Amino acid sequence: MALFIVRHQHQPEHCPAQDPDMGAMLLNHLSRPNVRQHGVRIQGEAVVHGEHALYLIVEADDEPHLREFMAPFAQAGTLDIFPASTCARVVASGGCGADLPSTGETEAVDPEEACQDAIEAELVVHRAHPLNCETSIPALLGGVVMPNAHFYVRNYFQIPKLDPAELRLSVDGLVDHPLSVSLDELRGMRSQTQVVTLECAGNGRSLFAPAIPVERWDLGAVSTAEWTGVP
């Protein structure tokens, strides 16, 4: 779905909220059940004090579909719809007018989605694409084993999107018995679990003097997890 900003304005003397029936109709039109029925998602809404202006942040399939949904507001005043982006998308793209980085032939996680997930997990983002972020100090102090969402992230390239049903591990080359096993087959094999700490070699790099022109990690490029795998 595409992201849009919607602006509706009306004359003070024609404010729909002055008519209780009209105001209730518009509220019901913006209700969650009705919004879902029209196939749009309202991410936020606000009315500017004294300006009789309503702003919405909306996800919709396309602008014509959104204009159809906003028809009751168009009848009450003006309606402007602007294609929009999230801050995560703009930064991952490298600018307001730039496109998201191409994933080439490799199916990869959407850079905007990956960056937004990191922000919501309260990671400290150093680079939006390729995604690099560190665990916050409060999260490091909260326990030993770090939940996946809070584990620091170090990437040099895009994040591959893997299909578990298609994934296979190949062991070949200078081996006596080449193997090609599926993820389900791996899960059926004897495994081991170890609690291990992983740390980026550049952890603490922000403290260097003179500064180093690469990812400037503070002290959160380190996390501990339970790692499970087949020997």
Spans of all domains in the chain:
2-84, 90-229
Name the helix (H) or strand (E) containing 171: strand 168-171
Q: What is the pLDDT of residue 195?
A: 95
Res 143: pLDDT = 77
Quickly state the pLDDT bin for 91 (edges 50, 70, 90).
very high
Angle at 23 between CA 18 and CA 24, to 5 degrees: 140
Confidence of residue 212 (pLDDT cuts 50, 70, 90): confident
Q: 58 has which bridge partners?
A: 4, 42
Q: State the Cα–Cα distance between residues 48 and 67, nearest whole angstrom.
A: 21
- Round the average pLDDT of the chain to a whole number and report it: 93
Q: Which of 20, 14, 17, 73 is nearest to 42 (CA)?
A: 73
Give the class (CATH, top level) of 2-84: alpha beta
Is 1 a residue whose pLDDT tops 90?
no
Residue 222 has pLDDT above 90, yes or no: yes
**pLDDT score, position 39:** 93
CB 42, CB 56: distance < 8 Å:
yes
Residue 60 near residue 40, CB atoms below 8 Å: yes
Distance CA 200, CA 180 (A): 31
Q: Which of 49, 62, 67 lies closest to 12 in space, CA to CA?
A: 49
Report how far apart the first and last C-alpha atoms of the chain are (Å, whole number).
43
60-69, 173-182, 190-199, 206-215: lowest mean pLDDT where? 206-215
Distance CA(54)–CA(2), nearest Å, equals 20
Rounded to an integer, the average pLDDT of 103-116 is 86
Question: What pLDDT was estimated at residue 105?
Answer: 73
Pick the CATH number of 90-229 from 3.40.50.620, 3.40.50.300, 3.90.420.10, 3.90.110.10: 3.90.420.10
Render pLDDT for 162-178 as a digit per residue (tens, 0 to 9). 899 999 999 999 999 99
How far apart are the C-alpha atoms of 128 and 115, rounded to whole Å? 6
User: Which of these, 182, 174, 158, 178, lies nearest to 230 by C-alpha position?
Assistant: 182
- Whether the Cβ atoms of residue 216 and residue 206 lie closer than 8 Å to each other: yes
pLDDT of residue 102: 76
Contact 186, 169 (CB under 8 A): yes
Burial of 229 (0-12, 13-18, 19+ CB in 10 A): exposed
Does the structure show a pLDDT above 90 at 99?
A: no
Per-residue model confidence as pLDDT tens digits over 120-154: 999 999 999 999 999 999 999 877 899 999 999 99
